[in-house]
Amino acid sequence: MIGQLIFIIILVAAIYLFSKNVAKIRRNILLGKDTDRSDQPAKRWRIMAKVALGQTKMVKRPVAAVMHFFIYVGFVIINLEVMEIMIDGIFGSHRVFSKPLGSLYGLLIGSFEILAVLVLTSCVVFLIRRNIIHLKRFSGVEMTEWPKSDANYILCIEILLMSAFLTMNAADYKLQALHFGEYIKAGNFPVSSLIAPLLPGSAHALVITERVCWWFHICGILAFLNYLPYSKHFHILLAFPNVYYSNLNLKGKFTNMPSVTNEVKAMLDPSFTPPAPADGEVSRFGAKDVTDLTWKNLMEAYTCTECGRCTSVCPANITGKLLSPRKIMMDTRDRITEVGKNIDLNGKDHDDGKTLLDTYITREEIWACTTCNACVEACPVNINPLEIITELRRYAVMEEAQSPASLNNMFGNMENNGAPWKYSQADRFNWAENK
């Protein structure tokens, strides 16, 4: 009875805390500017099914793809078991699904165990890749202590959870064999039966082992749930909406800024009167801080799991330049989290004197981009670092007139001669004459 009460209190507290933090992230994302991504729902669902659920963009790196697939499937399917644990916890039952499901239950538990081993092995391999082999993709200027620890924590927690799950089953398996108390014959234990000999023989010790593992497993899951909002692992939730709201245009197509269109029209045609901005607010051209970006850019920042596929294919990064698309996303997330904290502590209009451009992302980084879209193509969850880089450039050029001198020359040439080089418009057709 007391056990049930404690369980319910822990469960409610965990869910409450998690919802609170998720609501905060949602609020932070909505600090971004509006952009319409509600068109073509059928196409969006298809892309989500393919890219997020089906993980089609992962296969470019087959080893990581297979291992990640094990963890992903393991996570989703073992959650069925968590449902049973919840019900058992609340009602004080034991293996409540075993009776109604009959022989199917044995099959399920058996497959959970095999999945648990696959998850465990994959996590170990991932730890080795990060900490022993030191795969290049997991290093870089942005991969400071916290991002590296974050990754290791996630993998270690998953290893611990799977170990607890298997040990719990092993103890249960032994107790079932002893026909002890409520431990009726239920389930199939292809893996835990192998580790059962390692456990003590006495029924009392086995019950303690089973109970400790049961509590550790479920409390671990609830703690892990509350770790998500602080971690890059939040991608397990946001990957789906993030892919749903993907940019459906061709990658080469950049947005045409409507605010600029009005001004250009007014310049070309003096009789044109631009419509007043809908929200009455005059916003700046481009982005200086995170709140100048769209909510989608910010959602992408929270979705990024720092895998570094973008940076590993970035031509600028490959050739030793400062730019790293992963850093663009991590900086955006760090900054929007900071802006959110400022609001919580000091109210809505607090200015901390920091901005995404300059405090977090330097000019050298944004000017190194070739806009080649390799990062966008590489992202398994359709994140677009290029859009943020472009917005920062727009701010630097249009609000501050701060672009590299050679680009200023190019702008000047285009304005005066209609070509990026210093050639006369009158000579444009000369190519047809000298053959």
- Give the residues lining the site for another protein (CB under 8 A): 60, 249-254, 256-257, 260-261, 263-265, 267-268, 285-286, 313, 315-316, 318-323, 364, 367-374, 376-377, 390, 392-398, 403-404, 406-407, 409-411, 414-415, 418-421, 423, 425-432, 435
Of 429, 2, 434, nearest to 215 by C-alpha is 2
130 vs 393, beta carbon nearer another protein = 393
Continuous H helices in 347-373: 363-366
263 vs 344, beta carbon nearer another protein = 263
Amino acid letter at 186? A
214 vs 367, beta carbon nearer another protein = 367
Which residues on adjacent β-strands are paired with residue 390? none
Please list, in sequence order, all residues whose beta carbon lies within 8 angstroms of the beta carbon of residue 113, skipping any fewer than 6 positions away. Answer: 166, 169, 188, 189, 190, 191, 192
Measured in whole angstroms, how far is the alpha carbon of residue 368 from the centre of its chain?
Answer: 25
Q: How far is the CB of 410 from another protein (least distance, A)?
A: 4
94 vs 363, beta carbon nearer another protein = 363
In 211-321, at which residue ranges do the beta strands (DSSP E only) sit?
A: none
Q: How far is the CB of 389 from another protein (least distance, A)?
A: 9
DSSP H or E segment with residue 110: helix 103-131
Q: How far is the CB of 114 from another protein (least distance, A)?
A: 34
34 vs 364, beta carbon nearer another protein = 364
16 vs 411, beta carbon nearer another protein = 411
Q: Is 256 left (phi over 0), alpha (psi -120 to 50) or beta?
A: beta
Q: How far is the CB of 403 from another protein (least distance, A)?
A: 6
Mind giving me the DSSP string for 127-167?
HHHHHTS--GGG-STT--HHHHHHHHHHHHHHHHHHHHHHH
28 vs 317, beta carbon nearer another protein = 317
Q: How far is the CB of 408 from another protein (least distance, A)?
A: 10
Is residue 374 within 8 A of residue 232, CB to CB? The reply is no
Q: How far is the CB of 427 from another protein (least distance, A)?
A: 7
Is residue 146 within 8 A of residue 232, CB to CB? The reply is no
Q: How far is the CB of 226 from another protein (least distance, A)?
A: 38
